[in-house]
Amino acid sequence: MINGELTKPFEAAKGLRQGDPISPFLFAIAMEYLSRLLRGLKHRKEYRYHPRCGKLDITHLSFADDLLLFARGDCKSITTLHACFMQFSAASGLLANLNKSAIYFGGVAQDTKQEILQKTGYSLGELPFKYLGIPLDTKKLTAMQWQPLIDRIVAKITSWTARKLSYAGRIQLVQTVIFGIQSYWSQIFIIPAKVMSLIESYCRSYIWSGANTITKRALIAWDRMCLPKSAGGYNLLNIKIWNRAAISKTYWDLAKKKDRMWAKWIHTYYIKGQRIMEMDIPQQASWMVRKIIEAREIMQQLPTAYLNQSSIKQIYLGMLGNHSKVTWRTLMFHNEARPKARFTMWMQCHGRLMTADRLANWGIQISTRCCLCNEADESPTHLFCECSFTKAVWGRLMQWLRIQVSPNHTYTQMMAWITTQAKGKSCAARVMKMVYAEHIYGIWRERNSRIFEEISRTTEQVAREVPCVCNVRAQGGMRAKLQQLMF
Ligand SMILES: [Zn+2]
């Protein structure tokens, strides 16, 4: 009966559809059955372990729907193993996809290989193959094999080039690329230095030129941008150092956590009770195993305080080392100005904005006159401190905030005064940081629009934009305080 009306009788049926929430559980139960069947193999004299698996009783590894089966490379062992899997197939209805399955041989004679392939019907596989999406090989992956990763990153950057974004906007997008690389390390942890340099170059070029090709132009060096904010950096992740940290972490797990299966395996077959700090690197081991053991040298260079760190992040911070702090660091913390204003202020603090004096040094022909006042040559000191236009805007802003400011600051005195005012997290300090960043941005934008678009605004117009932005962006108590002030 449907909707109160009689219908034709229908058959009840049982079955499983893709996407059914219970299917992973059923799958796990089925795989448990397979595991038990395979574990039974060790009592069969026809089956012999893979030579690197016997001591740990490994017959198979499986995760989700990926399955690796191991056996000694002789016909009898393989056919016994295969029969065991077929028994599972017949009972569960789960079949191996022949197109996605292959046999990988190591040190097996040619005629034995042929016989095994013929009897089982699988194809001959070649390394590297993917397990859980990661390419596995006994050798170092070639540059070619890393190309897909590079291609993906370039494609991502290319998709952004159509958009006109500020430097700050581009930095945010680049951070998503870097984050992707970082999460890659949770699966695979050694990316060759060359590949990383290439990734860095693409990211750097995109930030500074907005293009998807590698250019040399960078106003601030990449390594500097990767420093913590307190050291004048932009806190980007230094992926080369992160890589080394990730390898060290793996080495540390190998040295300390002997209960993990992979660690147990390396200990059983290669370390064999030797002291890992002093043993010879086993030459017959795979590239990856050798690299992990070689990481002991990185660990020796680390300060002892970092030796017991269990996270990659902590080791990374240790490797980043101590850097001298910049005096204006307080401006970079708890600053609620717009990202593009913060970035412009950051560049101004580094003295890296392309003012006329710097362009002239680069041999670029441009009028060196300050376009805001027309009274002097343009330099950072003039533009952001001495210029009568800038002084008028800043004076107007300080009048709005009811703060007394002495008119005769030098550039250094001005920066020192701002940093003192902006120190800490108090409401007044946060207002000062935000207003200063937006002020610098306003001056820089006015300068650019006069040069490139020939549009001029008055000091009053430039100043007015700052309270407008600040009123919108300020949070909580700070907003209430700002709203009490009349511009
Ligand atoms: Zn001027």
pLDDT digits (tens, 9 = 90+) for 321-335: 888 999 999 999 999
pLDDT band at 468 (very low <50, low <70, confident <90, very high): very high
DSSP 3-state of 168: helix
- The DSSP code for 62 is E
Torsion of CA 52, 57, 59, 61, to 10 degrees: -90
Q: Mean pLDDT, to the nearest integer, of 141-165?
A: 88
For residue 131, which phi and psi values (nearest 5 degrees)? -120, 125
User: Which tokens go with 178?
Assistant: 């870097």
Which pLDDT band holds residue 128 (cuts at 50, 70, 90)? Answer: confident
The dihedral formed by the CA atoms of 129, 133, 136 and 140, expressed in degrees to the nearest 10: 110
Model pLDDT, residue 187:
63
Percent of the chain beyond pLDDT 90? Answer: 53
Query: Residue 135 pLDDT > 80, yes or no?
Result: no
Q: From residue 440, how far is each of 233, 380, 456, 478 by CA, in Å?
A: 19, 11, 17, 21
pLDDT of residue 305: 67
Q: What is the distance between the alpha carbons of residues 32 and 408, in angstroms, rounded to a whole number?
A: 80
Q: What is the pTM of this model?
A: 0.81
Distance 376 CA to ligand 1 centre (A): 6
Compute the distance from residue 379 Cα to the ligand 1 centre, in Å: 9
pLDDT greater than 80 at residue 2: no
Residue 309: per-residue pLDDT: 64
Q: DSSP code of 161?
A: H
pLDDT tens, residue by residue, 70-88: 999 999 999 999 999 999 9
Question: What is the Å distance from ligand 1's center to 167 Cα?
Answer: 25
CA distances from 193 to 76, 197, 200, 238, 417 (A): 44, 6, 10, 12, 44
Check if the beta carbon of residue 290 is closer than 8 Å to that of residue 281.
yes
Distance (Å) from CA 388 to ligand 1 centroid: 6
Q: Rounded to the nearest whole angstrom, what is the distance from the C-alpha of residue 462 to the centroid of ligand 1?
A: 14
Please state, rounded to an integer, the average pLDDT across all residues of the chain.
Answer: 89
For residues 230-252, average pLDDT: 90
Q: How far is the CA of 353 from the centre of ligand 1 (A)?
A: 15
Residues in CB range of 272: below 8 A, 6 or more apart: none
Residue with tokens 């005012």: 421
Rounded to the nearest whole angstrom, what is the distance from the C-alpha of residue 208 to the centroid of ligand 1?
Answer: 27
Q: Identify which has the larger pLDDT, 467 or 363.
A: 467
Give yes or no for residue 308 having a pLDDT over 70. no
- Ligand 1 centroid to Cα of residue 442, in Å, is 14
The CA-atom distances, in angstroms, between 380 and each of 39, 310, 447 are 74, 45, 12
Residue type, 254: L
Residue 459 Cα to ligand 1 middle (Å): 12
